[in-house]
Each structure stands twice: as structure tokens, then as C-alpha cells.
Structure 1
Amino acid sequence: MSKVYCPLNYTMNLIGTKWKPLVLFHLLDGPIRSGVLQKRVPDISNKMFTQTVRELEKDHLISRKVYPVVPPKVEYELTEKGKSLESILRSLDRWGKDMSSF
């Protein structure tokens, strides 16, 4: 018996954790330095931040650029694949704003 492909399952595997949508959302407006990005995601630990950005990079949703300077400078930005999630992320943000008044 062959496995049935489920597009929603694929999407949820890519972005369905607690932190991934938040990291992706904060990258919608362009590249951000690592430290600034981590501060924009409330309550994320160093370990979870590192794990999350590594998974997003592995899945080609974000890219990481390291600048050869001291102290080290690292920036993250959305790839084209990551940018394709913009409407979904903005819709989730809008929904949260609308529902917060209930």
C-alpha cells in the first residue's frame, strides 16, 4: 500500500512548531541579525533558537549569512520558499489581533 501525500501535513512539518512561525514572521520585513531576531521572539531559549533556525535553514525556508568580522555578525533572512509563506503568516497575525479582543 502506498503512502498518501497530504499537503497540510507537509506544511505543518515545516512550520508547525511553537517557534518556527514566530521566527519566520519576524523575518518578513528583511534580514535581521541573530541577536535582534532572538530578542523579537519572546521567551525562546538560546538552545531552542539555535535548533529552530537550524531546522528552518535545513528546510530552505531561511538563509544564514556570516560576516567575517570581530565580533562575529550573523544575519538571517527568508529564502524565496520562506517568502512564499508570507500570506499565511500575516493571516495568522491578523487572526490573533482580531481574536485578542474576545
Structure 2
Amino acid sequence: MTTDPARRRRRPRAMGAVAAVALVGALVVAGCSSDPPDPVQQRKDRVQARLEDSFSQAQATCIMKVLKPETIAALDRTTTLPKGDDLDVYSAAVVACVGGG
């Protein structure tokens, strides 16, 4: 049984194409099945990034550990905290983590 040389050359290409399609299909399915982003974590990430604009990463991480979820939510909504509990908590966190008191 002899096979056509041109046919033998096409077979590896065809198998490679099938493998590529299977890989793309697997990636699409994996991408579609991932969990939706957690809004609480997204809020923390945004506030952490804003803090890192003014403080070192270590200082920002320290501040985030001290802040209450309500204060993090308030910081995510505005660039200035009104006088009150959220501002007091934030100020205490900055003094504890950065110093200057």
C-alpha cells in the first residue's frame, strides 16, 4: 500500500490545525466559566491602588488592614472624607502605618 507524498505532508498540518482549534476551544470554555469579579475585592483593589499613589506599597497595605469595610467603601466613592468616623479611622491608620504622630 503506497500513499501519496502530498497527502502525507497534509496530514501533519491537518492534525496541527485540529490541535489548535481544540486548544482555542478549551481556552474559550475556560474563560467563559470563570467566576464573576467580586465587587468587594474590586473596591479594595481600587482603594489600594489610590493609596499606593501617595504611600509605599507596604504602607498602603498596612493602611488597608486597619480600615473598616465602610471606610474602604467611602474612600472608593470620594477623594475627600467628611469629618466623622471614616475620616478618624483613616487618619489613625495613616498615623499607625506611616508615622508622623
TM-score, shorter chain, exceeding 0.5: no
Report the structure, 1 or 2, having the larger strand content.
Answer: 1
The structure whose Rg is larger is: 2
Using the size of structure 1 for normalisation, the TM-score is 0.24
Using the size of structure 2 for normalisation, the TM-score is 0.24
Report the structure, 1 or 2, having the larger helix content.
Answer: 2
